[in-house]
Amino acid sequence: MYRYDFTGLETEPLYRMTTLSDEPSKAMQFTGTVRMHPNGSVVYVANRTLGAYKEGDRKILAKGGDNIAVFSIDPHSGLPALLQNID
């Protein structure tokens, strides 16, 4: 999470945390769309899995975090806290 004000986006993040509820997948994981509730207290982040990974010459279908991560945002510090992952 980065701080943003009238001068723009800061270069260093305020917080770093996972959006995943389980162990990371062997496949590539990405975050997708990020949306904030209009009242600013909740953030929704889409998690996406690439779908497959290679093991030797074999392509293996991957299990991963294809879900929506829901974070509450502390009104004083801005610290996000993972509430749940919705499948």
Among 78, 84, 81, which residue's Cα sits nearest to residue 21? 84
pLDDT in single tens digits along all 87 residues of the chain: 888 888 999 999 988 888 988 776 777 888 999 999 999 999 999 999 877 778 899 988 877 778 999 999 999 988 999 999 998
Q: What is the pLDDT of residue 46?
A: 96
Contact residues for 13 (Cβ-Cβ < 8 A; gap 6+)? 1, 2
Domain ranges of the chain: 18-86
- Rounded to two decimals, what is the model's pTM? 0.79
By CB atoms closer than 10 A (0-12, 13-18, 19+), residue 49 is: buried
Q: How far apart are CA 48 and CA 9, in angstroms?
A: 25
For residues 50 and 63, the answer to whether their CB atoms sit within 8 Å is no
For residues 86 and 77, the answer to whether their CB atoms sit within 8 Å is no
